[in-house]
Amino acid sequence: MALTTKLAGIAAGAVLAASAAIAQTYPERQITLVVPFAAGGPTDTVGRLIAERMSADLGQQVIVENVGGAGGTLGAGNVASAEADGYTVLLHHIGMATSATLYRNLAYSTTEAFEYIGLVTEVPMTIVARKDFEPADFASFITYVKENADTITMANAGIGAASHLCGMLFMQAIEAPIVTVPYKGTGPAMTELLGGQIDIMCDQTTNTSEQIKGGTIKAYAVTSPARLEIFPDLPTVSEGGFAGMEVSVWHGLYAPKGTPPEVVERLSASLQTALADPGIAEKLAELGTAPSPAADATPAALKAKLEAEIERWKPVIETAGVYAD
């Protein structure tokens, strides 16, 4: 018994020593930041902003790798099965929460397959339409859509995409089904909206702000609790009587389950450093969002957010009865 206890103590000490050594030397080579969506999309934009600043802080390059497909679950699955050494991390958005219900045969657990690093940002959504859409304001927009729901088309970037989720909330809020047209990403959906082949869409400010400013699409409302500084004239959905439609596309940073705590802590500290950079804040502000505060860029805050969002979206998805598998 004494020998067993002694051996266990030696083993535990070796593990602690190894962890300490990893923490002191990490990172020794480049880190891959997997974005589970196509290049040029809203999440990719956020990923490249923080990757550049984290590279400077960590002293090693953080390289963005786009692994699109299956509503973000392909890239997330790759990270879930990657070596837990801190050299492969994942930037995912609200889809990390909704995929737990949307995919009934998901190959990994969204809550158990990862270590949490921290929240990155919460991007509000905008309700937009082709530039020649008839309604003049949000109130008339709601009335018009309800009266013409059987002929209006709503674009989204595919099942599980933020635009799809926002669209489901919108249809439930106005109690009217709309013909939805899924695309393989936000880019093609926006192209069709710009061309007038699609009537309306709900998408992130990181994807719509430039088009709104340029007048190439028509904006009706934002889904944030308060009006946005870059669009002060756009009402919130709450002002229009739809408080239940408030939604933001939050982004979080994850590592494979089993990544050493010291490495997770180092990554979280680096994330906080990146988000505190005034340059990052300025670039995100141009896109209608802001970096998460230091208190949210932590493992505990991201874990709590994910769990709460899974509970929020589960009944919405089940009521809609739309699944990805």
Residue 313 · residue 97 · CB < 8 Å: yes
- With bands split at pLDDT 50, 70 and 90, how would you rate the model's confidence at 19? low
pLDDT confidence of residue 143:
96
Q: Do the domains at 21-123+248-320 and 124-245 have one common CATH topology? A: yes
**Interval 265-291 mean pLDDT:** 94
CATH 3.40.190.10 describes domain 124-245: yes
DSSP conformation class of 122? E
List alpha helices for the chain, DSSP H.
2-25, 42-58, 73-80, 95-102, 138-147, 162-174, 186-195, 205-214, 261-275, 278-286, 299-320
- State what percent of residues in the chain have pLDDT above 70: 93
pLDDT at 107 over 60: yes
Burial of 294 per CB tally in 10 Å (0-12, 13-18, 19+): middle
pLDDT at 79 over 80: yes
Bridge partner list, 116: 254
Q: Nearest 5°: CA angle at 183, between 182 and 189?
A: 105
* Tens-digit pLDDT profile for residues 213-249: 999 999 999 999 999 989 999 999 999 998 888 888 9
Closest CA to 89 of 234, 221, 274: 274
pLDDT confidence of residue 186:
82
Burial of 132 per CB tally in 10 Å (0-12, 13-18, 19+): exposed
pLDDT at 14 over 50: no
Residue written as token pair 């007048």: 215
**Interval 78-92 mean pLDDT:** 98
pLDDT confidence of residue 194:
97
pLDDT confidence of residue 21:
59
This prediction's pTM: 0.84
Assign 154 to helix, strand or coil. Answer: strand
pLDDT confidence of residue 207:
86
Mean pLDDT score across all residues of the chain: 91
Closest CA to 255 of 270, 237, 234: 270
pLDDT at 49 over 80: yes
Chain centroid, CA 114 distance in Å:
16
Torsion region of 125: left, alpha or beta (phi above 0 gives left; psi -120 to 50 gives alpha): beta
* Tens-digit pLDDT profile for residues 173-183: 999 999 999 98
Alpha-carbon gap, residue 277 to 53, rounded angstroms: 8
Bridge partner list, 123: 249
* Tens-digit pLDDT profile for residues 184-216: 878 889 999 999 999 999 999 888 999 999 999
CATH architecture of the domain 21-123+248-320 equals 3-Layer(aba) Sandwich (3.40)
Extents of the domains making up the chain:
21-123+248-320, 124-245
pLDDT at 8 over 60: no
Pairing state between β 200-204 and 31-35:
unpaired
Q: How many CA atoms lie within 13 A of 35 on its CB side?
A: 21
- State what percent of residues in the chain have pLDDT above 90: 72
Assign 91 to helix, strand or coil. Answer: strand
pLDDT confidence of residue 241:
92
* Tens-digit pLDDT profile for residues 286-301: 888 899 999 999 999 9
DSSP conformation class of 137? S
What's the per-residue H, E or C state across 187-252?
Answer: HHHHHHHHHCCCCEEEEEHHHHHHHHHHCCEEEEEECCCCCECCECCCCECCCCCCHHHCCEEEEE
Residue written as token pair 């998460």: 292
The two tokens of residue 85 are: 């050494």
pLDDT confidence of residue 167:
92
- With bands split at pLDDT 50, 70 and 90, how would you rate the model's confidence at 15? very low
